[in-house]
Structure 1
Amino acid sequence: MKQRIITAVVALIFFIPLIILGGMPLHALAAVLAAIGVYELFNMKGLEIKSFEGILTIIAVVLLVLPIATWFKFLPSNIDDVTLYYSIVMIMLVVPVFSKNTYTFDDVAFPVLVSLYVGIGFQNFVSAREAGFKVLMFALLVVWSTDIGAYFCGMKFGKNKLAPHVSPNKTIEGAIGGVLSAVVVAGIYMVFWPLPYNIGVMLILTAIFSIAGQMGDLVQSAYKRHYGVKDSGKILPGHGGILDRFDSLLFVFPLMHLVGLF
């Protein structure tokens, strides 16, 4: 526990100033975090990140995360992030032709899915900050309060397992507590920093975001169980990998974008 707290404090000291600052420093941080996320998934599957598909996947993710208008001003105005990203996917799709199908369409599917899962999540992380600091903080508070509420409610009231085949320690009572905690924290937050919709709609959306965040956590747990690993990585002592910390946000940010919060 002591190690977890120290790591969290050090990470926040580094992380909070960057999200306050925003702009290119935050874009660069998001791209680095996304690249590490790709590495963690490749490592879980036993694939070499220095391989041809590993390098292409990192390039694809970075192209999704970095805003074109800021980082690629030299490109023609008709080229967007989807076009750049798909150019990398097309290269991957061509590989089976020259490998005589030793590298197959099924092999291509993994890096493409990884790039979408990680890239779109961190792309929306950047977009949320571009929309405003209060939007990004809202998402972070929803996820953090969900985690804290779920942990303590699970400890106190947890009896019924939520998904024992994936995450044996999580309970239905904890999950409900996480949602309630997020709604309360979001309600207080929006008294001081209103968001686009009225507070009633926002509290309903908060509950949905909280559930989505918990689902993102379970999805990552399912991947880890499938590949037989405890943590996605070891970069954060006591916490595991980048995906262990951002798995909920990779689901919450795209959903916030989908409902028009940024």
Structure 2
Amino acid sequence: MRTRVITAIVALAIFLPIVFAGGIWIQILAALLAVIATGEIVMMHRTLLVDFGAILAMLGAAIMTLPSEFMTALNAPVIMHRSTMLYVFVLLMLVHTVLAKNKFNFEDAGVFTLAMMYIGLGFHMFVQARFAGLGALFFVLLIVWTTDSGAYMIGRKIGKTKLAPAISPNKTWEGSIGGTLVAVLVAAVYAYFVPLQFSWGVMVFISLLVSISGQFGDLIESALKRFYKVKDSGTILPGHGGILDRFDSMLIAFPVFYLLGGMG
């Protein structure tokens, strides 16, 4: 527990100043986190980080985090736009299946492409939320954090009905519903005082959907770890596991918040 607390304090001491600073700093942070998180999937997949396919996936995830306007602002050619670059990386992975003589196969390419998009675009939406303003960013962060904390505490107290025993045996319906209720309550207070994209009532409804989506993010990563038969996605955060373990909910919550129009 002591290690877990110390890690959390150090991580927040690094994370929060970068979030407040925004700009290039949060972009660098997002790209770095995307590379590490994609590397965790690579290692769970039992592929060397120096494998060409793995390098493509990690580099592709970093590029996916770039703001939509970045390449346009640089007047870069079409081939360097993010969506085009994604296709180029996929093509290179497919070519690699031939050059590697199927030691890196079509399934490997599929796993790495999905990881690249899931993680890269998830962190891209995190960056976009910061560009939309601190109000929008902390709205989502508070929902994710309070959902997680509320679900844990309420689940421990009254949780009896298993939510997804085949994927995450410790989660319960009582904890899940309780965590969402706590998050919506906190979000309602936050939205009352902080100007956001929509009216108070709409933002409260959005908080409900973001809380639920964040829990799906957690379950998605649990399913991934269950498939690969690992306890944690990595070991970079002592007491907490890997980057995916800490950002799994956000990788789904931020894109859902974006799709709901919360970032403007």
1:194/1:158 CA distance change after superposition, 3 Å: same
- Tell me what 2:141 maps to: 140
Measure how far apart 1:100 and its partner are.
4.5
Q: 1:112-261 maps to which residues of 2 (within 5 A)?
A: 112-261=113-262
The 10-residue stretch of structure 1 (199-208 or 16-25) with the greater mean CA deviation from structure 2: 199-208
* TM-score normalised per structure 1: 0.95
Show CA shifts across 1:55-78 (max 9, x none). Answer: 111111111112364478262378
Is the 1:28–1:66 Cα contact (8 Å) retained in structure 2? no
8 Å Cα contact 2:191/2:204 also seen in 1: no
The aligned residue for residue 36 of structure 2 is 36
- Residues 1:64 and 2:56 are matched in the alignment: no
Write the distance in 2 (CA, Å) between the matches of 1:15 and 1:234.
Answer: 18
Q: Any conservation in 1 of the 2:78–2:84 contact (CA below 8 Å)?
A: no
* Identity score, percent: 48
Letter in 2 for 1:85: L
- In the TM superposition, residue 101 of structure 1 has moved relative to its aligned partner by 4.3
Find the aligned partners of 1:40 and 1:201 in 2 and give their Cα distance: 37
Deviations along 1:213-255, whole A, 9 cap, x unmatched?
A: 1111011111111111111011111111000000000000111
Counterpart Cα distance in 1 of 2:97 and 2:6: 47
TM-score, normalised with respect to structure 2: 0.94
One-letter amino acid matched to 2:152:
Y
Equivalences for residues 7-26 of structure 1 within 5 A: 7-26=7-26
Aligned to 1:6: 6
How far apart are 1:206 and its partner, in Å? 0.8
Aligned counterparts of 1:84 and 1:106: Cα–Cα separation in 2? 21
The aligned counterpart of 1:49 is: 49
SS at match of 1:4: helix
Structure 2 CA distance for aligned equivalents of residues 101 and 222 of structure 1: 27
Q: 1:261 to 1:31 in 2, by over 3 A?
A: same
Query: Alpha-carbon deviations, 1:76-132, whole Å to 9, x = none?
Result: 378521112211111112223434445432221111011011111001111111111
C-alpha contact 2:30 2:123 (8 A) present in aligned 1: yes
**Is this contact kept in 2: 1:122–1:250, CA < 8 A?**
yes
Q: Distance in 1 between matches of 2:69 and 2:260?
A: 24
Distance change in 2, residues 1:239/1:100 (3 Å)? closer
Question: Bigger shift: 29-38 or 93-102?
Answer: 93-102
8 A contact 2:52–2:96 mirrored in 1: no
State the secondary structure of the residue aligned to 2:48.
coil
Number of matched pairs: 262
Question: RMSD between aligned alpha carbons?
Answer: 1.6
The AA in structure 2 aligned to 1:154 is G
